Amino acid sequence: MVSSGARPDEVHADASALGTAAAAGSLTVADTVDALLQAAAAHWLATAAPEASAAGLDLLTRLRKVTAAVLDGYHRSAHDEADQRDRDRAAFVDDLLAPHTDPGRLAAGAQRYGIRLSGQHTVIVARVPASDGNLVHTLDETLAARFGGANILTTARDGELICVCAGGLRGVPAELARHLQSSLSTGWQVAVGRTHHGLSGLATSLDEARNALHLADRLGFSAPVLHASDLLVFPVLLRDRDAITDLVTTVLGPLTGARGGAQPYLDTLAALFDNEGNHTATARQLHISVRAVTYRLDRIHTLTGYHPGEPTQRFTLHTAVLGARLLGWPA
C-alpha cells in the first residue's frame, strides 16, 4: 500500500478502509497493528536487496515487539484508570449513603460529580444474580449518557446495584429495568425509594428501596419494578402486629377447617387480587379452571362470610390476605 506509488489521499483512503474491515472483523488494535507490521516484513523480504533484507527484517521484528509492548502498556493503563474511576465513584456513593462522612471529602466528591448535596434525590436499588463489574460500568455509562452525568450515579454496593438520581428525574427505573432485562433476562428486581431532601434523605430513600425488596420477598411480589410509595400500607400493618394477627385469624381462621387446609384458598384470593378480580387470569395463574376459581370463592364466602365480589368486603379480605403473608400464616 505504502510503496505502491499511490497518492497520499489514496493511501489514506485504503488504510482507513482496512481499519474499518479490521473493526468489522472484531480484530483488536494490537492484532491489526501486528498484522500491518508482519505485512511490512514480508514485503521487505520480497523487495529489498539481499544485503539489506536481514538488517531490515531484524529491525521490523524488534519494532513489532516494541509496538506490542507499547499497546499492552497503553491498554493496561486505560483499564487501570477506568477501574480507579469506578472505585472513586463507588467510594463517593458510599460516602453519600453513610451515616457519618467527612464533610470535606463529601463536598469535594459532590463538586467532582456535579451533585447538589442540598437537593432532592431518589435512590434505586436493583437486585441482580451477581454483581458483574462490566454490567455496572455499562449501566453507569448508559444511564449517564441518557440522563446526564450530573443527574445520576450508578455503582455496586453490598451485592446490589445502587443508583442515585436527581429528584424529579423521570424514566430512570424503566430505563434501568429495560437494560437489566436485555442483559440478564431473569433473576433481577428493581425497587425505587421515595424522593427526599438532603443527605439524610438519601439514606432514607435507600432504606425504603431495600425494604421494598424485602417486602417483595415476604409477600411474593414478582413485579420487575417496585415503588416504595405503593407499599406504604405494609409498614403500617407490621407496626401493630396484634391488630393484624387478630384480623387474619378472625377473617381467615375458618379456612383452616376446610378440606386441604387454608393455603389453596389463600392462593386463590392472592391471585384474584393480583389480577384485579379477573377470574380467567386468576385461573391461568393458578393452572386451574375458571369453574374451580368460582367454587373456591364460594367456599370462602360460606366459611368466612366474606366474598371478594362485595365491594365493602373486598378491602377487608385483601388486607387479611396481605397480613397472612406478612405473618407467614398459616405456619
Q: What is the pLDDT of residues 80-92, one digit of tens each?
A: 887 888 788 778 8
Of 170, 195, 230, the position where a domain reaches its end is 230
Question: Has residue 252 been placed in a domain?
Answer: yes
Question: Has residue 144 been placed in a domain?
Answer: yes
- Residue 26 CB-half CA count within 13 A: 0
| Range scoring the smallest mean pLDDT among 11-15, 199-203, 219-223 | 11-15
Of 175, 208, 230, the position where a domain reaches its end is 230
Can the peptide bond before residue 264 be classed as cis, meaning omega within 30 degrees of 0?
no
How far apart are the two ends of the chain, measured CA to CA in Å? 79
pLDDT at res. 55: 67
Q: How far apart are CA 76 and CA 66, in angstroms?
A: 15
Q: How far apart are CA 179 and CA 125, in angstroms?
A: 14
Q: Which of 91, 60, 62, 73 is nearest to 29 (CA)?
A: 73
CATH of the domain at 308: 1.10.10.2840
Q: Kindly give the pairing relationship between strand 120-127 and strand 189-192.
A: antiparallel
Question: Has residue 5 been placed in a domain?
Answer: no
Q: Which of 286, 273, 284 is nearest to 320 (CA)?
A: 273
pTM exceeds 0.75: no
Exposed/middle/buried for residue 331 (C-beta within 10 Å: 0-12, 13-18, 19+): exposed
Question: Has residue 316 been placed in a domain?
Answer: yes
* Residue 233 CB partners (closer than 8 Å, separation 6+): 319, 322
Same structural domain, 265 and 168 = no
Question: Has residue 306 been placed in a domain?
Answer: yes
Condensed to tens digits (0 to 9), the pLDDT of residues 263-305 reads 999 999 999 998 989 999 999 999 999 999 999 999 999 999 9
* Residue 193 CB partners (closer than 8 Å, separation 6+): 122, 123, 124, 125, 204, 205, 206, 207, 208, 209, 212, 228
Look-up of cell digits 389480577: 275
**Number of domains within the chain:** 2
Q: How far apart are CA 199 and CA 203, in angstroms?
A: 7
pLDDT at res. 22: 61
Mean confidence (pLDDT) of the chain: 84
Domain that holds residue 170: 116-230
Same structural domain, 158 and 252 = no
Same structural domain, 201 and 300 = no
Condensed to tens digits (0 to 9), the pLDDT of residues 222-256 reads 889 999 998 888 877 778 889 899 999 999 999 99
pLDDT at res. 2: 47
Contact 207/193 with Cβ under 8 angstroms?
yes
* C-alpha dihedral sign at 303, 309, 315, 318: positive
Contact 297/272 with Cβ under 8 angstroms?
yes
Look-up of cell digits 474511576: 85
CB neighbours of residue 234 within 10 Å: 20
